[in-house]
Amino acid sequence: MRDINHFIDGAVFAGASGRFGEVFDPNTGAVQARVQLATAGEVDRAVQAAQNAFEGWSSTNPQRRARVMFDFKRLVEANMNELAELLSSEHGKVIADSKGDIQRGLEVIEFACGIPHALKGEYTQGAGPGIDVYSMRQPLGVVAGITPFNFPAMIPMWMFGVAIAVGNTFVLKPSERDPSVPVRLAELMLEAGAPNGVLNVVHGDKTAVDAILTHPLVHAVSFVGSSDIAHYVYQTGAANHKRVQAMGGAKNHGIVLPDADMDQVIKDLAGAAYGSAGERCMALPVVVPVGKKTADELRERMVAEIPSLRVGVSTDAGAHYGPVVTAQHRERVAGWIEKGVQEGAELVVDGRDFSLQGHEKGYFIGPSLFDHVKPEMSSYQEEIFGPVLQIVRAETFEEALALPSNHQYGNGVAIFTQNGRAARDFAAWVNVGMVGINVPIPVPVAYHTFGGWKRSAFGDINQHGMEGVRFWTKTKTVTARWPDSALEHSDSSFVIPTMR
Ligand code: NAD
């Protein structure tokens, strides 16, 4: 059995907790490896390594740090096939989608290559008599990232890409369900020239997370995962004086107005609802057609589209999506489908009985479609995170706008229409953090910023782009006056200084 070990201070570290998590092959259901689950002491070892590396790395000039990022990007690209296969074998997403996962992370690394420009401070000459004011962005010290299973390459790179480029040193606690790619990324960072201890990977569960959240040398924590854990991480981290951003779950809606290009909508919905087996925080698991005619047409055409979707092993180049990540997750998704039926929604297509010949023990689940889903149903309110699309019918634009706006989650939303005015109003008014206009999965490009609203994010600074730079740095502002020997000393002043 292969062991997946920690990566601390530039080297593989086996750990001695005696506790392991099982890593499955979702295509077959077999256990393919076991991953170390760290003790608090092992987390401390990683933090100490990062602390030891901090002085040297933070005083390395930004251009040199950017060069490491350039080399890292080149190395990841050179190893793209191997990384995508490894990712796919543990997650279950198809190879093309695994490459997309890596590529979206690399785009943040490309942003990080421009870090010297992003770190330039502000300067005011002559803010007062003989007084200049300047501000600079300084790294925080040792910082940490805790990541979910569904993007094992992109989300770690969102975090460490910017955090390390600005001069911090990093402890990554990836998902214990697909932990191999994060270790490979750390090895490639070392090869790219990041000194030992700049990027450490510690595997683990709640024990490791708690050790990070309470460690006095960890200054900031970025978390992405489910909302209850995100809330816990946010509260615990803040109570321990850390800067925290904690992204949570989602239930993204796609609003379809009567004038939408229905051919395109069906294609977009199929990909956004069922791609990656629905295991994306920016998936579109809810569609809201406006008006009966739109709803009936959309339903009929989705029913016709679904049989063309191919579910297959993650290495099948012709498959649209692969298995979900674990047997437990498949049970959970099936449980939500059952719940929807009990709540009175109409199950138009049932994917639960899907079985892939020769892979009967794999965690496959076919595409499901519900119609007549109502806002009060728990299967609508909660995140299913599987290949399930729910149709919630609306009579008017206002009713459609209210659905995502009033939902507990506010990660992403999309509107499909050819009416510019309606799209503009929708984007301005909807109570959700990221909006697509005829774009089904509106994950912002790396130089903009990613973050949802409501229970989709705790904390107030987003991932990557300039928000990422702000999250991973602190501002120091210097007010300087140099003595002018020609002037007499000024008297003591007992009032707050003002500039007149
Ligand atoms: P998860 O919450 O189970 O796990 C996320 C991380 O938290 C993992 O590293 C895990 O080890 C750790 N963890 C798990 N239980 C814990 C506990 N009790 N205490 C402390 N830490 C714990 O999430 P997941 O199943 O890996 O990922 C799927 C979830 O992530 C979905 O809800 C999805 O919407 C969300 N997600 C959100 C975004 C976003 O940007 N908003 C992006 C991707 C995924």
pLDDT means per 10 residues in the chain (500 residues)? 96 96 98 98 98 98 98 98 98 97 98 97 93 97 98 98 98 98 98 98 98 98 98 98 98 98 98 98 97 98 98 97 97 98 98 95 98 98 98 98 98 98 98 98 95 96 96 97 81 82
- CA-nearest residue for atom 19, ligand 1, is 206
- Choosing from 229, 252, 384 the residue with most ligand 1 atoms within 8 A of its CB, the one to mutate for a pocket test is 229
- Residue nearest atom 7 in ligand 1 by C-alpha distance: 225
**Test site for ligand 1: of 20, 108, 226, most ligand atoms within 8 A of the Cβ:** 226
What number does the ligand 1 atom closest to the CA of 176 have?
11
Choose the residue to mutate in 150, 177, 330, 385 for probing ligand 1, maximizing ligand atoms within 8 Å of C-beta. 150
408 CA distance to ligand 1 centroid (A)?
17
Neighbours of 277 (CB within 10 A): 33
Which pLDDT does position 497 carry in this prediction? 82
CA 131 to CA 499: how far, in whole Å?
10
Task: Please state, in angstroms and rounded to a whole number, the distance separating the CA atoms of residues 317 and 87.
Answer: 15
Active site residue 113: no
Residue 488's pLDDT is 79
* Cα 409 to averaged position of ligand 1 atoms, centre (Å): 15
Distances, alpha carbon 419 to alpha carbons 258, 423, 437, in Å: 10, 6, 10
pLDDT of amino acid 129: 86
Predicted confidence at residue 493, as pLDDT, reads 85
Same fold, 2-248+456-478 and 253-437: no
**Could you give the CA distance from residue 418 to residue 425 in angstroms, rounded to a whole number?**
13
**Which fold, 2-248+456-478?**
Aldehyde Dehydrogenase; Chain A, domain 1 (3.40.605)
Which fold would CATH assign to domain 253-437?
Aldehyde Dehydrogenase; Chain A, domain 2 (3.40.309)
DSSP 290: B
Contact at 8 Å (CB) between 311 and 353? Answer: no
Using the mean position of ligand 1's atoms as its centre, give its distance from the Cα of residue 91 in Å: 14
Domain ranges of the chain: 2-248+456-478, 253-437
Q: Would the CA dihedral through 349, 353, 357, 359 be positive or negative? A: positive
Q: How far is the CA of 384 from the centre of ligand 1 (A)?
A: 14
Residues with CB under 6 A from ligand 1: 146-151, 173, 175-176, 205-206, 209, 224-226, 229, 247-250, 281, 383, 385, 411, 452, 456
CA distances from 1 to 20, 268, 273, 426 (A): 12, 41, 35, 53
- Give CB contacts under 8 A, 24+ apart, made by 327-332: 327/24, 327/29, 327/363, 329/279, 329/363, 329/385, 329/386, 330/363, 330/364, 330/365, 330/386, 332/385, 332/386
